[in-house]
Chain A
Amino acid sequence: LERSTNSFSYSSYHTLEEIYSWIDNLVTENSNTVSKIHIGSSFENRSIIVLKFSTGGSNRSAIWIDTGIHSREWITHATGIWLAKKIVSEYGKDHALTKILKAMDIFLEIVTNPDGFAFTHSMNRLWRKNKSSRPGIFCIGVDLNRNWKSGFGGNGSNKNPCSDTYQGPSPQSEPEVLAIVNFISGHGNFKALISIHSYSQMIMFPYGYSLEPVPNHDELYSLAKDAVNALYKVHGIKYIFGSISTTLYTASGIMVDWAYDNGIKYAFSFELRDTGHYGFLLPAAQIIPTAEETWMAIQTIMKHALNHPY
């Protein structure tokens, strides 16, 4: 396995073992700003790990970023790895990032669905859900982005355990979801949340479970527009934006709705590029351009959260 994050290939896809080993190297090499937090264990008992980027203070307001909740969306894990390296490389150089990290903490969960991700490498590259199984239920796995408490079981999720959008037997039934709920609720001071998916080139905000606009809809709409513009400037990739239910479709029990309903006013869901030809099989050559443009959109949201404390 790679001995250092500098010799690691950021323009390739990697296995779960390689990613976890890289995380250990990143923490070792940047122990003054990065730490690794074990927030729980997956259904198949793999560690669920969150990276914390902090320059001090205690219980500072914080920003949450996650990738890989749907395991076949490999471009998201690869983008998460690149983002983590970018943060440690640019702190102290990039003025905006340095300002953010002097006041806030950033938490990044790169492999939000470790069992599903391992399964895409071992058995089924196109697997989306986690790997939970229950007596009497014929099919495996729950869609981890339909298992959250907000709007659970509504339109846009599925009671059929064989469906790719199966909501699970009850809200937060899945250990991968409960681990995040407990961590974010326990921390209590998250101000922004960005959940990164692929694909279809969108930046969206709540609600998914309702067509009703959220109270600060106009602010989120304007912020999503700024983020899309910042992203476009990097490589000319066009995104659309808006609330989930009006831009894409009704989706119930999703993470960003739960975050918003639990006080995180700046909650966004990204759908990264596929440039119209590759879907979930985006070639590795597009990892770095995708990460570079995503970073600009994320920075736009982080800056807004920093400048609009609540």
Chain B
Amino acid sequence: QMNFTGDQVLRVIAKDEKQLSLLRDLEGLKPQKVDFWRGPARPSLPVDMRVPFSELKDVKAYLASHDIACSVMIKDIQVLLDEEREAMAKSRR
């Protein structure tokens, strides 16, 4: 099983098309820096992106440098995955 310890999901509300475009630029970076859970669609809709722990600093710096506000939707993905797995095991028992 892949481990997602420290990975976070950031929620971004883009102010305008320009900011959406800057978010789309993130998708094309190599190696992949973000996994869009909700892709950049329109300013009225949130953008959710999973950021690997190793990329968190760069991505947050990128957002800050373009004045793109973000909040942390999921602080550590692996914690939720462990809870999910435990719940499945318990249910099976």
Please measure, in the bound complex, the distance between the C-alpha atom of A203 and the C-alpha atom of B41, giving whole angstroms: 16
Whether B84 and A249, one on each chain, are in contact in the complex, defined by CB atoms closer than 8 angstroms, is: no
Interface size on B, residues (CB 8 A): 28
> B84 touching A13 by the CB < 8 A rule?
yes
Q: Are B88 and A12 in contact (CB under 8 A)?
A: yes
Interface SS of chain A:
loop
Pick the contact of A123 from B1, B35, B91 — CB < 8 Å? B1
CA distance A277 to B79 in the complex (A): 14
**Residues of B34-58 whose CB lies within 8 A of A:** 35-42, 45, 48, 50
Looking at chain B's contact residues, the main secondary structure is mixed
Tell me the chain A residues, 211-261 only, with Cβ under 8 Å from chain B.
248-249
A92 at interface by CB-CB < 8 Å: no
Contact mask A121-138 → B, CB, 8 Å, 1/0? 011111000000000000
Does chain B have a CB within 8 A of A169? no
Answer whether A164 and B41 are a contact pair too, CB < 8 Å, given A12-B87, A13-B84, A283-B84.
Answer: no
Minimum Cβ distance to chain B for residue A165 (Å)? 8
Where the two chains meet, the residues of B that have a C-beta atom closer than 8 Å to any C-beta of A are 1-2, 4, 9, 27, 32, 35-42, 45, 48, 50, 73-74, 77, 80-81, 83-84, 87-88, 91-92
List residues of chain A with CB under 8 Å of any chain B CB. 9, 11-14, 122-126, 162-164, 199-200, 248-249, 276-281, 283-284
